[in-house]
Structure 1
């Protein structure tokens, strides 16, 4: 179960923002943050299976960078629920659930099969050459609808042509023998076995066995919202999963797509020559999310000075979005030591702060310095020339000298000089508001828990703080949760149903955390208490992160003991050591961050987790992870675990700026294998401003 959204108050007690718990779904229907949509455009429609295609077949087309498409379609006896992403211009990926209406599940009310898809663009379309792509459906697991394909698409005026051939489910018509049989014997016949455990890759099926041709045409009608479709599919429905063969009167399918808004479209058709299809798609471009802001305007350059430096500190908080720890003067320079609180771009905070300091400082001050910290950890220092800033603020012709006069360096955390203002060391803050925990992707369907959460924090000094949260369940459907992943591993996560239903009021976490900078590039953190819903204990983390380097590595170690289901202070008998060595790399490829963690998991199994994620300019981060351990079949279903996540910046949806995010996660099952401790804070996240990568990209925000 994972948090989706919340609202409350920030550390200094000022009102922050209210977030609708259903934001992630309603934004598809109506959201001024969304960019111009793709509904009703040639080559952008979602197939019945999800992913860009016609109806039953894929095309070589890719959606715009950052596009997310959520779709539903029904062609009896199948209902398909699809979520697909375009994380790069050349790769499409997503997952689906297929509900088989006329077959019963041995364990659940509905017969659901999950599947992953991937499509890779091989060639761009040119004047003479089509776009070419290769892909696979229903990768791993049961592979009931597993298929691979090679497909080409070519645009001609208002027509978009697609042709290809597929294996597996897309090639059941068997028009030709294995086209790859000459490469190796394994391609001659397609393996009938699959990852019956639900978590295995059956590479013996890939591009093996006979193949069939498929293709189609889309026509953009003179009425722009309407697109007509004609398709020839490669499946003859004589070898359907679960012995569920269907009559087919024709391999030709006809259909249409109708845009009902910029981001939503209906689709309908007649398939197999005897069966109706209907569906709907919602699109949202994650890379283009933005919202016009109603933040306080930056102070004018010639504003009146404040009464004292304590008042300046408050104005810096209110207008520049920085929590000031100290303001000091040394020679001809003023240094503000602060923690970013409101704006995602430090350039925007610094530009606003420059105006405030320019109005306050006497004529002997030549430069402004910003010593950025997070939880007492010095991260970096930015230096601005006062005169050049003032000139650039009044004339765009003088901006060049100012821009290239800004420089940044690693913060030493020891801003010396005369103290003009210092914030009190001890601070208390709290927040109260609704929060929704949700989990979808398991065989028991969508689980949710709406709760009221009271959170508080007491800062003992810049490097240490107590934090805690108390949750009261208001509404849930957790009675639907069923534990099915029997294994020989200790039940370290599969008691989730007991934790969520045993008590309506519980302490979600209560701990003390302390940070330290051990050397110029080494950071450390220690913590202890009720660390999460299920575990109490103590732990520590160390991180080596050079300034503005694309890589970092560290380690964490934790001793934990399982908490009682009531989520008070009582503990259960199970205890263990868990920890990992962690490596991070900004790959430089499509802004992808790679993270590898190797170590011991909560159930005592050893293994590794590989995580890839990408952050768009909008601040949205999309990622996927997989975990492999020595638990083997004891995982309970398959031999590895996997999941997807989407971190949405609230800044993209509201008219005032925020550094907060709402995270949505998808994980097929709650398992005991590969389970990690859900730590409240991680050093890599706390030291993000150590990276200068986005500073120059966001430079234009200096003037907002």
Structure 2
């Protein structure tokens, strides 16, 4: 479970240099809001029944769409028609960027207007959208994964319902999540087929499941696309108000709909999409929705036919306008773009390393001590920090930190080029070590000529790795280097201080006191590293603006671990949020250790410790972690609460790269959480192009709690971490992270730490660097 700031409650996010706020809400707010909204009667005289003529007309149009598509298919150019039923020429299914097929619907998923298609967003492409279709206003986000999955989330505002009558909350809001899986990819003989689920978590107001088919046919300079499907739940004409069917234990479709029998009410849907001009399409749709049965709808609906235009204005922006049921307007605005590190500005390449004749002569005439000093000087002047060089006979050992690049491979490449330029030909073996928090995180050993040939593309990856070796720790390479005998060393200059001043905003979502309340503050941070592995950190938060006084949220327990957070967040003035010391250390067999003590976050102070070790060059890892803390005083900066309760946690941490080629990895915490509840927390995430998107789920034994909200707690959430290089004209390190969870409870809680050994992403592992070793050439 995370509180309003993921950096303060999740130790795995504490190392991120730029952090946003997370939004949280109470578990019971959603249920109360639904009950209040349902209790309001619809206007007198409103009837959910439609004339039979409208149904017959709409179904006739669906049949006409299918027949028309067959005719268009058979009258398509002969070179395509000779290929079989539903032919597809090379131009029939163009590239997404040239003629996008995954057009946005008005409901978050890819489709026409109301109904989904079998199309899915391409891998690692994000779509942000807004739509208006009475009585709903929807903000949504969709993401393509692995070229066969599309996940999407929606925040739906029901403009005809109040969330809490008489409260400042405003109109009713509902959050939902869905996914679509492509089962069959379109080819010459088969349509594309997808299976989807909508509103998997939440109230179930819009719960649906569906099977969709899509087929594209080339028409000269344009194309036509047929979409057909079968829907259940809301897409099957059911309503949140309907009574359960026999054998279904859930009340209405809000409960166990997605696990209920597949033989429930099913309705067909379909439509035709015609390319009229470059970027302009006409969508004609027969919808399976019963619009006047939708939650919040208080008008008589027309026939289930929708027609409108979708216009792709630019490479990433789509405008939509439709007539829904012949009576209402639907509008949409969507933007989609690939997730990549280089964003708003084209990156300027790093300065080239010049071949200086004076430097070559200086290196050739220097002894071992002089050569160590030269290489140290050149690395420090290039921008590396915490530099240390050792020279023994024909071997050169380098340790250095680098925070300029997004990947360790790029840092190793830069280090290699500087070392090759600053060392003479007699240096035949190089050991390059990237250092993080005073310990070697990745170690590369290579012969001089082998490394130079690979950097200059004279040999391929296999030939390079036949001689070179890369490991997650330095133990093996250090033994090799020590065999060369006594070494001369030199250390670069150190700047032990680091200061930061960051504006921050926290948000609390979905509370009776208001849908969205903010707290703005200025965080002043200072870090002191008297030794490479030692970190002392202090943070002050100066409150600039605070709406948390308006929130109505009481602690769920007498001895609440996290749900008393408002007592700390409602304070004004300047407060010390962290004052702690953290020490890293290396143990035998490449085991890493960490110990910390101090005031960790506004609510807790105490001690913590962690051990971790990677295996198979980072493909998986195993660790131990423990914390013991007490509550801090609300009235003094560094005092402790009168409550003497000692909260302690202990975990076994497991890390695994599940699908290294796709950047998919997982972290699992098993053990005792702060409130004494025992269980686990699973975090599944994907890192690609230096973007990380992940989900977490905590499940613990909650019988020890008194409140129903804590006993029913199932903490589920989503986080996005993007590179700050998006906003720069050059490659820079640093990340911005935003997280959102489904509830705020005392179950599954951890305490923030100054640093963490548990990995944030596959980018940190030697195995990932080996896979992307070609980045050394860039």
Fold conserved between structures, TM > 0.5: yes
SS at match of 1:548: helix
Indicate conservation of the 8 Å contact 2:115/2:269, yes or no: yes
Which of residues 338, 346, 365 in structure 2 aligns to 1:285?
338
- Residue 220 of structure 1 is matched in structure 2 by 275
The answer to whether the 8 A contact 2:509-2:517 is kept is yes
Q: Which has the higher helix share?
A: 2
Counterpart residue number, 1:619: 690
Going from structure 1 to structure 2, the CA distance change for 1:432 and 1:206 (only over 3 Å counts) comes to: farther
User: CA offset at residue 188 of structure 1?
Assistant: 6.3
Q: Structure 2 matches for 1:39-188, cutoff 5 A?
A: 41-106=99-164, 108-157=169-218, 158-172=223-237
Q: Give the count of matched residue pairs.
A: 660
Paired position in structure 1 for 2:748: 674
1:41/1:439 Cα in 2 relative to 1: closer, same or farther (>3 Å)?
farther
The answer for the alignment partner of 2:544 in structure 1 is 474
- Which whole-Å deviations, capped at 9, do the CAs of 1:85-125 have from their partners, x for residues lacking one? 22322111122111111112236322111111111111111
* TM-score normalized with structure 1 length: 0.85
- Structure 1 residue 56 displacement after superposition: 0.9
What is the alpha-carbon distance in structure 2 between the residues aligned to residue 80 and residue 56 of structure 1?
A: 12
Offset of residue 700 of structure 1: 3.6
Match of 1:540 among 585, 589, 609: 609
- Structure 2 residue 551 is the aligned partner of structure 1 residue 463: no
Question: Residues 248 and 645 of structure 1: is their aligned pair in 2 closer, same or farther, counting only changes over 3 Å?
Answer: same
Partner of residue 262 from structure 1, selected from 307, 315, 325: 315
Partner of 2:428: 366
Paired position in structure 2 for 1:563: 632
State whether structure 2 residue 433 is matched by structure 1 residue 375.
no
Match of 2:773 in 1: 699
CA distance in 2, matches of 1:608, 1:682: 18
Provide the rounded CA distance (Å) in 2 between the counterparts of 1:114 and 1:294: 41
Deviation of 1:394 (Å): 5.9
- The worse-fitting range, judged by mean Cα deviation, of 475-484 and 154-163 is 475-484
For the structure 1 residues 69 and 689, does the alpha-carbon distance in structure 2 shift closer, same or farther, using more than 3 Å as the test? closer
Q: Flag the structure with larger Rg.
A: 2
The correspondence for 2:732, drawn from 658, 665, 683, is: 658
Aligned-residue offset at 1:469: 1.5
1:326 equivalenced with 2:381 (yes/no): no
Is contact 2:720-2:738 (8 Å) kept?
yes
Q: Provide Cα deviations, 1:575-618, integer angstroms capped at 9, x if missing partner.
A: 411232221111127331122212222332222211110111x1
Q: Secondary structure of the residue that 1:627 maps to in structure 2? A: strand
Aligned counterpart for 1:2 among listed residues 5, 18, 25: 5
Aligned to 2:379: 316
What is the CA deviation profile of residues 236-259 of structure 1, one whole-angstrom value per residue up to 9, with x for unaligned ones? 2353336x4542211111122122
Over 3 Å counting, the alpha-carbon distance change for 1:298 and 1:566 in structure 2 is farther
Q: Distance in 1 between matches of 2:563 and 2:147?
A: 38
Structure 2-normalised TM-score? 0.78
User: Structure 1 residues 422 and 206, CA, compared in 2 at 3 Å: closer, same or farther?
Assistant: farther
Corresponding residue of 1:234: 288
In structure 2, do the counterparts of structure 1 residues 292 and 310 end up closer, same or farther at CA, with 3 Å as the change threshold?
farther
From the superposition, tell whether residues 82 and 190 of structure 1 become closer, same or farther in structure 2 (CA, over 3 Å). farther
CA distance 1:396–1:77, shift in 2 (3 Å): same
RMSD, aligned CA:
3.3
How far did residue 2 of structure 1 move? Answer: 3.2
Distance in 2, Cα, partners of 1:502 & 1:102: 36
Report the CA distance between 1:378 and its aligned residue: 2.9
1:341-364 superposed Cα distances (whole Å, 9 cap, x missing partner):
222233322333333223332332
Is the CA contact (8 Å cut-off) linking 1:42 and 1:227 kept in structure 2?
no
Does the 8 Å CA contact 2:176/2:198 hold for their aligned counterparts? yes
What is the CA-CA distance between 1:39 and the residue it aligns to? Answer: 7.7
Conserved? CA contact 1:626–1:643, under 8 Å: yes
Q: 2:495, 2:342 → 1: CA distance?
A: 38
TM-superposed CA distance for 1:395, in Å, is 6.8
Report if aligned partners of 1:440, 1:447 keep a CA contact under 8 Å in 2.
yes
Change in 2 beyond 3 A, CA 1:150/1:392: closer
Deviation at 1:634, TM superposition (A): 3.2
> Are 2:572 and 1:510 equivalent residues in the alignment?
no
* 1:353 and 2:415 aligned: yes
Comparing 433-442 with 272-281, greater Cα deviation is found at 433-442
The one of 496, 500, 508 aligned to 1:431:
500
Deviations 1:609-649 (A, max 9, x none): 11110111x11011011112222673359541111011111
How far did 1:482 drift?
3.4
Q: Give the distance between the partners of 1:442 and 1:66, measured in 2 at CA.
A: 33
SS at match of 1:293: coil
Q: Tell me if structure 2 keeps the 8 A contact 1:513–1:525.
A: yes
Most deviating of 300-309 and 523-532: 300-309
Q: 1:690 to 1:77 in 2, by over 3 A?
A: closer
> Are 1:405 and 2:467 counterparts?
yes
Equivalent residue number for residue 608 of structure 1: 680
Asked if 1 retains the 8 angstrom alpha-carbon contact of 2:209 and 2:233, the reply is: yes
For structure 1, the residue ranges without an aligned partner over 5 or more in a row are 5-16, 23-36, 175-185
Mapped partners of 2:258, 2:457: distance in 1: 62
The separation in 2 between residues aligned to 1:538 and 1:109, in whole angstroms, is 44
Distance 1:349 1:601 in 2: 37
Per-residue deviation, 1:697: 4.2
Q: CA-to-partner distance for each residue in 1:42-81, whole Å, 9 max, x for gaps? A: 4222221102111111111111111111111111111111
Q: Is the 8 A contact 1:429 1:458 kept in 2?
A: yes
CA distance in 2, matches of 1:60, 1:523: 48
Q: Shift in Å at residue 474 of structure 1?
A: 3.1
Q: Are residues 251 and 426 of structure 1, via their aligned partners in 2, closer, same or farther at CA, if it must alter by over 3 Å?
A: closer
Secondary structure of 1:520's aligned partner: helix
Shift of 1:398: 8.7
Question: Is residue 379–residue 689 contact of structure 1 (8 Å, CA) maintained in 2?
Answer: no
Match of 2:291, SS state, is coil
Q: Tell whether 2:665 aligns with 1:593.
A: yes
Distance 1:42 1:401, change over 3 A: closer
1:500 aligns to 2:569 (yes or no): yes
**Comparing both chains, which one has the higher relative contact order based on Cα–Cα distances under 8 Å and sequence gaps of 6 or more?**
2
Deviates more, 1:516-525 or 1:426-435: 426-435
Distance 1:315 1:261, change over 3 A: farther
CA contact (8 A) 2:608 2:753 kept: no
